[in-house]
Structure 1
C-alpha cells in the first residue's frame, strides 16, 4: 500500500463502512468517508456530489444503502463506478448480497464498467442482532420474522471488513468474487438461543407474516419503504438457498471465518445487549 493513496469508503459511517475505515486508518491509509454528512458531502442519488469525493481517489469501497436489491441501486452504483474509473480509480470493492437477483444484476453492471471489480457477496450479517434491525427484537425477547426457521451461515462484519481492506490495499484480488459466510449455518431458533445465552436474557424466534413484520418494524421507527423492502428481501434470500457455508473468508484471509457463537460472546462482552 502506498500511504499517499486515497481510499474512498462510501457508506463510511455505516455498519461495514466504519469498520473498513477504522482498519484502513490503522494501516496508515488516507481515507475519505463518503456520506451525506461528510465533507465533501456524498449522495448516491445526486451525481453533482460525485466528482468532489472522487478527487485523487485510488481505491473505492462501494456500499449502497439500504441494499443492492432495492430499486435504483443498479443504476446508481454502476454510474458511480463508471465515474470513478474515469477519474483514475485502480481498485474497487463492491459489497453485495448472497442469493439476491437484484444484487447480482448490480454486480454485473459494475463489472462492465470496472472489469477488475472485487465482489464481496455476503450472507446475512451476524451484527444485525446487535447493531441493526434485530437489536430491538432481541431486547424485547422475540425475533419476529417473516421467514421459516431456515439455517443461515451468518457472517461476522469484522471478517467482511478485513477482506474488504485486503482487496482495497493489496494486489491479487482484482476480478475475484468472494462469497463471505460464517463457518456453519444456524437456524433462527438456534441464533436466538445463542444470543440469549450470551446476553443473559431470554430470546425466542417467532415466524410472522410479512404484514405483521412490516407493522412491527414501522412501529419501531423503520421507514415503511425500508420495512417493506426488507420483508421482500427476506422472502427471497431466506428460503434455504443460502444455507451452505462458503469459503470466501478463508480464501481471502488464510484463516477460518468467525462463528456465530464467537460473535455473540464478543458482542455481549462489548455491552451490545446490556441496556
Structure 2
C-alpha cells in the first residue's frame, strides 16, 4: 500500500478553507494526496460557526481538522462556540484538532483551553500578526491608497508569513510528534509598522507611508466603511490588547515545529509584489 493509498479513507476538514491560512493548508494537503473537506458558507455541505445544524454534516467521516475560528478566537463567545464544536468533533470520531489562535490574546487562550478539554488529540498554532494582512486583507486598500493609517504607534511586531502558518499546521496534521504542542509562531525579527510599510513600499514601488492613529480614529474609519459595531468594538478591544508591546519579541515556534527558520518580512513583501498583490 502506498502512502497516498493509506490516506484514502481519511478526511481532513479545513475550517476557513477559503481564507488566508485555510486556503494554503488545503492546497498543501491536496498536494500530498489527502482528502480535504472545506468548511465555509459557500462549500458543500456548507458550514457556519453560528449555525450548529451545519456542524454534523461537515464532521461526518472526518479524522482530523484545522480549526480557524472566524472572526477571531479571541472574540466574545468564541471559547464557548469552539468548546461545543470540539466536543461534537470528538463525539463524531475526529482524532486530532489543530487550532489557529492569535498571540497574546487572553480570550483566545481560553478558547485554546476549551479545545484541549474536548477529548481529541490537539495542537495549538498561536500566531503573531499576519504579514498577509498588508496584501490580502484590510490593510491592502490602505497600501494602495498610499497611507496605512493604523493604531499601532511605534510598537514592533514579528510579522508571521501565512505560508509558515500553513506549513506548521500541515506538519501538525500529517506528522508524528506534534500532538499536545503549543507552537507560538512569529517571523524572525521584529519591525515597527512604519518599517514594515517601508518594506512594502520598496518591494511594490509604490509611494506609501505609515500613519499612526488612535484606536477611536480607527474605529470611526471602520464604521464609516460599513463595518457593524458587533465587529468593530471587539476588534478594537483586541488591537488595544495585542498592540501594547507584549508581542514584540520573536519566538522559536517555527523552528521547533519545522526545523527551519521562519520567512522574513522582506521576502514576503517581494513575493507579494511579484504576485501583483498591490498592482493597480
TM-score range, shorter chain: over 0.9
Match of 2:67 in 1: 62
Change (3 A) 1:18 1:230: same
Secondary structure (helix, strand or coil) at the match of 2:62 reads: coil
Secondary structure (helix, strand or coil) at the match of 1:120 reads: strand
Contact 1:59/1:92 (<8 A) preserved: yes
Match of 2:153 in 1: 148
Partner residue of 1:209 out of 214, 223, 248: 214
d(CA) in 2 for partners of 1:181 and 1:203?
25
- TM-score w.r.t. length of structure 1: 0.97
Q: CA deviation at 1:116?
A: 2.5
Partner residue of 2:171 out of 166, 170, 180: 166
Taking the TM superposition and a 5 Å limit, the aligned residue runs for 1:98-117 are: 98-114=103-119, 116-117=121-122
Match of 1:192 in 2: 197
Match of 1:50 in 2: 55
**Is 1:227 matched up with 2:232?**
yes
Question: How many residues matched?
Answer: 275
**Is 1:30 matched up with 2:28?**
no
Partner residue of 1:240 out of 215, 232, 245: 245
Contact 1:150/1:188 (<8 A) preserved: yes
- TM-score w.r.t. length of structure 2: 0.95
Q: Which runs of 5+ in 1 are unaligned?
A: none
CA RMSD in angstroms comes to 1.2
**Is 1:19 matched up with 2:24?**
yes
d(CA) in 2 for partners of 1:272 and 1:218?
25
Secondary structure (helix, strand or coil) at the match of 2:79 reads: helix
Contact 1:147/1:207 (<8 A) preserved: yes
Partner residue of 2:91 out of 63, 86, 90: 86
d(CA) in 1 for partners of 2:85 and 2:24?
22
Q: CA deviation at 1:115?
A: 5.6
Q: CA deviation at 1:141?
A: 1.2
Provide runs of 4+ in structure 1 moved above 4 Å: none
Secondary structure (helix, strand or coil) at the match of 2:247 reads: coil
Match of 1:10 in 2: 15
Per-residue displacement from partner, 1:86-117 (whole Å, max 9, x unpaired)? 11111110001100001000001110113621
d(CA) in 2 for partners of 1:47 and 1:146?
35
Match of 1:118 in 2: 123
Contact 1:146/1:231 (<8 A) preserved: no
**Is 1:272 matched up with 2:277?**
yes
Per-residue displacement from partner, 1:161-191 (whole Å, max 9, x unpaired)? 0110111112211100001100000001101
Secondary structure (helix, strand or coil) at the match of 1:62 reads: strand
Q: Which runs of 5+ in 2 are unaligned?
A: none
